[in-house]
């Protein structure tokens, strides 16, 4: 039934999703070019509100649980599992007070209305996966911007999407670089559930009537722990929330 409904509802979803991207392209441009970062940030937040709730056209529900008392003016390194591109808009919208920035593939900075503009000018890190020196340099720059502006960063520590929802082992790289520059940053895990199901049949049809869920988990103490231990602990608490075992 979910797949059958997907054939009917996916075109509606894609129309409204694409329309949102097209409409917010000039809005972002005006906000950034004429009024600077704060206005641009407002436009990006609004964009991601609409992208998040485009899910209603598929009958999918949004549940973002954040019972943590996160500071508004302190850098946070969020660490999460990654299931689909639909993970991202809700994180930007619901954690908008934390000014969350992302590490993205440099290829995404061209050709996608609204998204490419934000990746270019929003303050995140755009990395060339074929050039390790460039990638590390970009993450270092992001770390410095975090420190200067009390921004936060989102790390999808698996390095790629888990298309079947089963978590892959977390990598230490980006986490280590950001923590070395921002040793006082909070480290906060986020468990993402069911967004992989949206694309379980591919890009068409999209699945319908799914319960999408994000849960912000308690901050991890970094005192006296190695970078490897911090990364492993983040992976473990997310796996526990998702009822997934560590791979052998």
Q: What is the mean pLDDT of the chain?
A: 96
Give residues with Cβ within 8 angstroms of 180, minimum separation 6: 143
Q: In this predicted structure, what is the pLDDT of residue 72?
A: 84
- Which residues, 6 or more positions from 30, have their beta carbon under 8 angstroms from its beta carbon? none
Task: Please choose, from the candidates 107, 100, 95, 156, the residue with its C-alpha nearest in 3D space to the C-alpha of residue 123.
Answer: 100
Does 237 have pLDDT greater than 90?
Answer: yes
What pTM value is reported for the model?
Answer: 0.95
Token digits of residue 118: 């934000």
> What pLDDT sits at residue 195?
97
Query: Cα(155)–Cα(80) distance, rounded to whole angstroms?
Result: 6
What is the per-residue pLDDT for 1? Answer: 86
Whether pLDDT at 248 is above 70: no
Measure the CA dihedral 43/48/54/60, to 10°. Answer: -160
The full set of domain ranges for the chain reads 2-242
**Average confidence (pLDDT) over 204-233:** 96
Q: What pLDDT, in 10s, does the model give residues 74-110?
A: 999 999 999 999 999 999 999 999 999 999 999 999 9
Which CATH architecture best describes the domain 2-242?
A: 3-Layer(aba) Sandwich (3.40)
Which pair of structure tokens corresponds to residue 58?
């598929």
| Confidence at residue 245, expressed as pLDDT on a 0 to 100 scale | 83
Q: pLDDT tens across 4-28, in order?
A: 999 999 999 999 999 999 999 999 9
Whether residue 214 contacts residue 60, with contact meaning beta carbons closer than 8 Å, is answered with no
Q: What is the mean pLDDT of residues 62-74?
A: 94
């Amino acid at each position: 039934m979910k797949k059958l409904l997907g054939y009917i509802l996916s075109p509606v979803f894609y129309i409204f999703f694409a329309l949102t991207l097209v409409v917010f392209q000039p809005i972002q441009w005006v906000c950034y070019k004429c009024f600077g970062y704060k206005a641009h940030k407002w436009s990006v937040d609004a964009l991601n509100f609409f992208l998040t709730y485009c899910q209603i056209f598929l009958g999918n529900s949004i549940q973002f649980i954040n019972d943590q008392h996160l500071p508004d003016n302190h850098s946070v390194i969020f660490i999460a599992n990654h299931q689909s591109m639909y993970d991202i808009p809700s994180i930007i919208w619901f954690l908008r007070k934390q000014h969350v920035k992302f590490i993205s593939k440099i290829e995404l900075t061209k050709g996608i209305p609204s998204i490419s503009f934000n990746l270019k000018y929003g303050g995140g890190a755009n990395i060339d996966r074929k050039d390790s020196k460039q990638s590390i340099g970009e993450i270092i720059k992001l770390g410095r911007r975090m420190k200067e502006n009390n921004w936060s960063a989102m790390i999808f520590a698996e390095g790629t999407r888990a298309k079947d929802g089963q978590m892959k082992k977390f990598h230490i790289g980006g986490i280590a670089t950001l923590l070395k520059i921002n040793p006082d940053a909070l480290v906060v895990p986020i468990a993402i559930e069911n967004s992989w199901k949206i694309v379980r049949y591919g890009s068409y049809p999209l699945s319908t009537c799914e319960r999408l869920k994000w849960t912000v988990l308690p901050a991890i103490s970094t005192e006296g722990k190695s970078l490897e231990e911090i990364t492993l602990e983040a992976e473990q608490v997310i796996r526990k929330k998702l009822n997934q075992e560590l791979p052998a």
